[in-house]
A = this chain, B = another copy of it.
Amino acid sequence: MREEATAFVPGHITGFFSAHPAEDPTKAGSRGAGLTLTDGVEVTVEPAAGPEPTVVLDGEPIDVDPVTTVLDTLDAPARVEAESDLPIGSGFGVSGAMAIGTALAANRVFERKLSRNELVTIAHGAEVQAGTGLGDVVAQAHGGVPIRLEPGGPQDNKLDAIPARARVEYVTFGQLSTSEVLSGDTDQLTAAGTEALSRVVEEPTLLSFMYASRAFAREAGLLTEDVVGTIEDVTAVGGQASMAMLGETVFALGTGLSDAGYDPAVCATHPAGAVLK
């Protein structure tokens, strides 16, 4: 057994998605597209002092169901310490990042000898089961600007990507509960997500992604007043902004938010997926 291992997992802003439930959580998931971010989560795993696992985020003990499930599945009684650049519950995939970071690092510390796809499958299934996300894990494993053409873990899904990178700015006004939205009626959302995906598949550019993402946010009925106002402010100065799914967060390409007079966090798309450090 190694003493500890650390993984970095990029954040992931979902621009749009459609929900695809299934009995088997490794086959359930979402189609959609998003931006993985250089702002992310660093996850360090070491053997726990006692028999019970402990999970700490930014210094505070926390219960993160997908992380507990990953540790159970890997038979890894571990202490997990995560440091996040990103706010939780605001559409950046922090829970997904913690799940896959834990899987990668625990596999190393406890020498479980699983493949990358196996680890991603475990983290994806744990996230779906917890209802905290449907597509962040596979996107965060991929990096770049992934397009999720088929739902599910790596054995079932099909990914493509927009071959581009960009500076990304964001501001957050508050949380939205992913599990509440996902457990409600998702028909309208899924219709809007399917429409958005076909647009981006037809023209896989960042501009068409932003356009599809804005149309999705409108049609899915998830916009809040703060979000609408901010997107309008960015549009007014000629910028490209949309809403992160699912959080009360506005993201923009380039200097869109700064140009509109906001004081955003600044990062960029991340070229790589989740990695051991």
Contacts and interface: CB of A to CB of B under 8 A. Distances in A.
Interface of A: 104, 107-108, 113-117, 119, 143-144, 147, 154, 160-165, 201, 203-205, 271-273, 275-276
Contact of A144 (B113, B116, B162, B205): B116
Nearest to A7: B163
- Mostly, the A contact residues are loop
Copies in the complex: 2
Contacts of A275: 144, 165, 271
A165 B276 contact: yes
Contacts of A108: 163-164
24 contacts: A104-B163, A107-B163, A108-B163, A113-B203, A113-B205, A114-B163, A115-B147, A115-B160, A115-B201, A116-B144, A116-B160, A116-B162, A116-B204, A117-B160, A119-B163, A143-B272, A143-B273, A144-B275, A154-B160, A271-B272, A271-B273, A271-B275, A272-B272, A272-B273
A215 B165 CA distance: 40
A104 to B, nearest CB: 6
Contacts of A272: 143, 271-273
Contact of A161 (B115, B162, B203, B204): B115
Contacts of A147: 115
B204 A115 contact: yes
A202 to B, nearest CB: 9
